[in-house]
Amino acid sequence: MMEKLNLFKSYLVIFLWMEFCGIAFPADLFSQPIQVPVDFPTLQEAVNEADDGDTILLAPGMHSGNVLITKPILIASQFIETGLESAIYETIVDGNGRTVFGVSGPFDGEVTLMGLTIQNGEDGIMASAPVNLYHNLITKCEDGIDYETGGGGTIRNNVFRENKDDGIDLDGTLFNVIIENNQIYDNEDDGIEIRLHSYSGDFSFCRISENQIYNNQEDGIQFIDYPDLTPRIYVVERNVIFDNKMAGIGCMDQGESTEDYRGADIPEPIYLFNNTISGHQYGITGGANLISVNNLIINSEFAGALNNTGNSIHAFCLFHHNTEDLVNANADTNSCLFLDPQITPAFYPISGSPCIEGGTRLFLMGSDTLLLIPEGEFEGEAPDIGAVEYARVETAVPASYEIEMILKPNPFNEYLTISALNALSEGSVRILDQRGRIVEQHPWNGSDLQLRLGYLNKGIYFVVYSDSRGTISRKLIKI
């Protein structure tokens, strides 16, 4: 009886995770999963024997890649049962120089990969059928994922790092691609590369939202045009794109991917809403139908915006600390700001920042509504400019609240000690990520608090202490 109860609990967790991630439920979800290596010694053997809709559960350890998938199945680590990030790093599928997962269609349904480390492949995933990725680490491959014609799907809550070409590569004819809440960094070419290959048919939609894209060796996001106008629409919203070597968002043409800042006049609609773009040679280049609203475009070595022509427009954007703000770029200078944004090193606006309520929730071109942000999705009278709303992190410190909170070491890798130089009342300490989400929370009275945080992704965090007197915060860097 107890064994059946535990099995039921495991499947309940799977059910909740799949519901959260938007995965379709196969009819036989609650049949017992295929376990590797218990039921089959290798992942490929398990895939071969699986039926449509089956779940394959990988035990922690190293598994051989070069796996061919030709049916809709779910492959996951114990993360799907426990929610522990350690399961991601402990469950490795290694390509040994060959493509780790090859997904070939057509077939009805989708493949889903969840909670895995996918590494050392010619590509991490090569897909000509729909593939969803949730909570994976894809590293040390050529492309992290390469969607080809027939591919597409949702890429959510993954890390793409240290791949030898692009983190994410979109090629051919794809439909309904969603890329959200990923960290994409330290890849040797583009963070995301998008080729607009010729095709005709139904509209293809791609949304890229709430990602952190940084330290890639070419562009943060690169669009590459081909001669024909195609029925595609791209929405790029609320991303933090910073310190990529070349352009934050770059447009090329004639199938050429080596960035030369030509700023190609790509005719397909590209909508850029509420992004923060900082620390590039050029912030945004190219586009003949590029609609840029509520963006923060700063710290460009040469220009914030270059060759945004035709029907393109920048409106309600803030430009600052670019050698030139606008070069051959259309802008509504009545709504754009050219001021110090007054932001933290992690791009949060501070009190008094012109970014606060400096954006717009509604943007029209002619009779077309191109942007309409629902009332509940921003603080105050209007949206802020940039990717992050001011109220998402508490920074107010009362004048009489003089407490010194010390973080050692900072930057850190595995362990962190939080100390105070003077006594604190009983309160709580929270660690927040760059989007203001709580990743750790503990009671604290000022005694040394030692935390093991090696599981956190590389990036910027905030340590926030609160008690009845107020709140203080400190920036924390994970390396």
Looking at the structure, tell me whether residues 387 and 411 fall in a common domain.
no
Domain end among 391, 414, 437 = 391
Looking at the structure, tell me whether residues 331 and 433 fall in a common domain.
no
| Alpha carbons 6 and 29: distance in angstroms, whole number | 16
Q: What is the pLDDT of residues 419-454, one digit of tens each?
A: 876 656 678 888 887 656 788 888 887 788 889 998
| Alpha carbons 249 and 12: distance in angstroms, whole number | 41
Looking at the structure, tell me whether residues 369 and 443 fall in a common domain.
no
Looking at the structure, tell me whether residues 137 and 195 fall in a common domain.
yes
Q: How do the pLDDT tens digits run along the chain, 479 residues long?
A: 344 334 434 444 444 445 445 554 443 444 689 999 999 999 999 999 999 999 999 999 999 999 999 999 999 999 999 999 999 999 999 999 999 999 999 999 999 999 999 999 999 999 999 999 999 999 999 999 999 999 999 999 999 999 999 999 999 998 789 999 999 999 999 999 999 999 888 889 999 999 999 999 999 999 999 999 999 999 999 999 999 999 999 999 999 999 999 999 999 999 999 999 999 999 999 999 999 999 999 999 999 999 999 999 999 999 999 999 999 999 999 999 999 999 988 898 988 889 999 999 999 998 899 999 988 888 888 999 999 888 644 444 343 345 677 888 888 888 999 887 665 667 888 888 765 678 888 888 778 888 999 888 887 787 887 776 666 777 788 88
Looking at the structure, tell me whether residues 194 and 66 fall in a common domain.
yes
Tokens, residue 305: 């915006």
Tokens, residue 437: 């989400």
**Is the full-model pTM beyond 0.75?**
yes
Domain assignment of residue 88, yes or no: yes
- DSSP class per residue in 322-363: -SEEEES--B-TTT-B-S---B-TTSPBPTT-TTTT-S-SEE
Of 61, 60, 147, residue with least CA distance to 101: 147
Looking at the structure, tell me whether residues 231 and 270 fall in a common domain.
yes
Looking at the structure, tell me whether residues 409 and 387 fall in a common domain.
no
Task: Give me the domain span that covers residue 419.
Answer: 405-478
| Alpha carbons 406 and 209: distance in angstroms, whole number | 34
Q: What is the pLDDT of residues 216-248, one digit of tens each?
A: 999 999 999 999 999 999 999 999 999 999 999
Looking at the structure, tell me whether residues 454 and 339 fall in a common domain.
no
Identity of the residue numbered 378 = F
Domain assignment of residue 346, yes or no: yes
| Alpha carbons 283 and 266: distance in angstroms, whole number | 16
Looking at the structure, tell me whether residues 295 and 426 fall in a common domain.
no
Looking at the structure, tell me whether residues 261 and 357 fall in a common domain.
yes
Domain assignment of residue 94, yes or no: yes
| Alpha carbons 107 and 385: distance in angstroms, whole number | 43
Of 261, 245, 306, residue with least CA distance to 319: 306
38: left (phi over 0), alpha (psi -120 to 50) or beta: alpha
Let me know the angle formed at the C-alpha of 395 by 391 and 400, rounded to the nearest 5 degrees: 140
Tokens, residue 220: 């943060």
Domain end among 341, 356, 391 = 391
Q: Given the DSSP bridges, would you call strands 427-432 and 247-252 parallel, antiparallel or unpaired? A: unpaired
Looking at the structure, tell me whether residues 474 and 327 fall in a common domain.
no
Strand segments (E) across 244-289? 247-252, 270-273, 276-278, 282-285
| Alpha carbons 432 and 440: distance in angstroms, whole number | 7
pLDDT at residue number 363: 95
Domain assignment of residue 174, yes or no: yes
Identity of the residue numbered 473 = S
CATH of the domain at 454: 2.60.40.3080
Q: What is the per-residue burial (b if ≥16 Cβ within 10 Å, else e) of 277-309? A: bbbbbbbbbbbbbbbbbbbbbbbbebbbbbbbb
Instruction: Report how far apart, in Å, the C-alpha atoms of 58 and of each of 184, 295, 378 are.
Output: 25, 42, 41
- DSSP class per residue in 206-253: EEEES-EEES-SS-SEEEEE-SS--SEEEEEES-EEE--SSEEEEEE-
Q: What is the CA radius of gyration of the chain?
A: 23
Looking at the structure, tell me whether residues 387 and 419 fall in a common domain.
no
The total domain count for the chain is 2
CB atoms within 10 A of CB 269: 16
Domain assignment of residue 10, yes or no: no
Domain assignment of residue 396, yes or no: no
| Alpha carbons 252 and 275: distance in angstroms, whole number | 20
Domain end among 391, 422, 449 = 391
Identity of the residue numbered 151 = G
Tokens, residue 62: 């190293």
CATH of the domain at 335: 2.160.20.10
Say if residues 155 and 130 touch (Cβ distance below 8 Å): no
Identity of the residue numbered 229 = L
Domain assignment of residue 400, yes or no: no
- DSSP class per residue in 7-71: HHHHHHHHHHHHHHHT----TTTTSPPEEETTT-SSHHHHHHHPPTT-EEEEPSEEEE--EEE-S
Domain assignment of residue 280, yes or no: yes
